[in-house]
C-alpha cells in the first residue's frame, strides 16, 4: 500500500512513515453521511507516523454519535474529501480515510465495526470479524 495520499483537489497532502498495520470498515450512519457513501474505509495510524505535508484540514466535531464519543472529523475545506478522524479515547491514533491514499491496491479490511447499521445491499466477506457496534 502506498504511504502517500491527498484530497480530491490536492490542497491537502499527507504521508505515512509505514504502511498501516490496522485496517477496517465503519458502517455507522455518521460515516455514511460524511462519506456520502455506504461506509468509511479506515486505517489506524499512530499519530507520530502521520504527516500533513501540504494544506490544513478543517475540523468538524461530530458529537452526535451512537457511542457518545465526540469524533473529530478532518476534511478538506475546499473539495470536501474526508481525510481522517480522531476519537478522544484513542488520542495516540488517527483513523485515515483510505480512499484518499494514492495507491489502495493493498487495502483489505481486517474487521467491520457498526455492522448493525450497514446498508442492506452490503455483503460482508466471510471470515472477517464484524462487530454490530464499536469494539469498545
CB of 12 to Zn ion, least distance (A): 5
How many whole angstroms separate alpha carbon 15 and alpha carbon 30? 26
* Residues of this chain, 54-83, that bind Zn ion according to CB under 5 A: 76, 78-79
- Cβ contact 9:97 at 8 Å: no
Tell me whether residue 48 or residue 60 sits nearer to Zn ion (CB atom): 60
Residue range at the interface with Zn ion (CB under 5 A); choices 4-12, 42-50, 96-104, 124-132: 4-12
DSSP letter at 21? S
DSSP 6: E
The CB-of-107 to Zn ion minimum distance in angstroms stands at 17
- 85 pairs with which residues across the strands? 73, 95
Contacts of residues 62-70 at CB distance under 8 Å and 24 or more positions apart, as own/partner, are 62/30, 62/34, 64/30, 65/28, 65/30, 66/28, 66/29, 66/114, 66/133, 67/133, 67/134
Q: Where are the alpha helices (DSSP H) in the chain?
A: 29-35
Site for Zn ion in 22-61 (CB under 5 A): 26, 28, 31
Number of residues that bind Zn ion (CB under 5 A): 9
Which residue's CB is nearer to Zn ion, number 50 or number 55?
55
Each residue 78-107 as x (binds Zn ion by CB under 5 A) or -, in order, gives: xx----------------------------
State the minimum distance, in angstroms, from the CB of residue 103 to Zn ion. Answer: 19
Contact residues for Zn ion, defined by CB under 5 A: 7, 9, 11, 26, 28, 31, 76, 78-79
Amino acid at each position: 500500500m502506498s504511504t502517500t495520499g491527498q484530497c480530491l483537489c490536492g490542497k491537502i497532502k499527507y504521508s505515512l512513515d509505514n504502511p498501516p498495520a490496522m485496517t477496517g470498515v465503519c458502517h455507522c450512519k455518521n460515516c455514511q453521511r460524511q462519506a456520502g457513501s455506504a461506509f468509511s474505509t479506515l486505517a489506524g495510524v499512530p499519530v507520530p507516523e502521520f504527516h500533513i505535508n501540504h494544506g490544513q484540514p478543517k475540523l468538524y466535531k461530530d458529537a452526535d454519535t451512537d457511542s457518545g464519543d465526540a469524533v473529530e472529523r478532518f476534511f478538506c475545506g475546499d473539495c470536501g474529501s474526508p481525510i481522517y478522524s480522531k476519537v478522544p479515547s484513542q488520542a495516540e491514533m488517527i483513523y485515515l480515510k483510505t480512499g484518499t491514499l494514492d495507491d489502495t491496491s493493498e487495502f483489505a479490511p481486517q474487521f467491520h465495526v457498526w455492522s448493525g447499521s450497514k446498508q442492506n445491499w452490503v455483503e460482508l466477506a466471510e471470515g472477517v470479524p464484524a462487530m454490530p457496534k464499536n469494539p469498545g
